[in-house]
Amino acid sequence: MGFTDFKNSESIAYLSAGSGVVVEFISGVFFYLYNKTTLQLKGYHDSLVNIQNVLLSFKIIEDTEDSKTKLEMTNSMIAALNNNNMEK
């Protein structure tokens, strides 16, 4: 319509420029929300990895039969957990 009717070519230009601005604004909002969601997902994943490591440590200590080694492993695990919590 803008190519055939030269009287409306100016209004078509304004309409297309305005719609471009609206589309860019909407896409910017989507990218902002995607960034926030990704950061939250990363935090959730890191938390799950930490819990998995703790549970794996408990399982390894539980399967150890030597009481002296078990005590040393428990002490080192507690020290590592304390250091990890203080760094955060």
Asked if 36 contacts 25 with a C-beta cutoff of 8 angstroms, the reply is no
Both structure tokens of 23: 């589309």
Counting DSSP H helices and E strands in the chain, the numbers are 2, 0
Residue 1 in any domain: the answer is no
pLDDT tens digit sequence for 4-34: 666 666 777 788 889 999 999 999 999 999 9
Both structure tokens of 26: 């909407």
Domain region containing 64:
6-87
Residue 32 in any domain: the answer is yes
Residue 62 in any domain: the answer is yes
Residue 18 in any domain: the answer is yes
Q: What is the pLDDT of residue 2?
A: 54
- Model confidence at 62, pLDDT cuts 50, 70, 90, reads confident
Q: What is the pTM of this model?
A: 0.60
Work out the average pLDDT over 54-76: 88
Work out the average pLDDT over 59-87: 84
Asked if the model's pLDDT at residue 1 lies above 70, the reply is no
Number of domains in the chain: 1
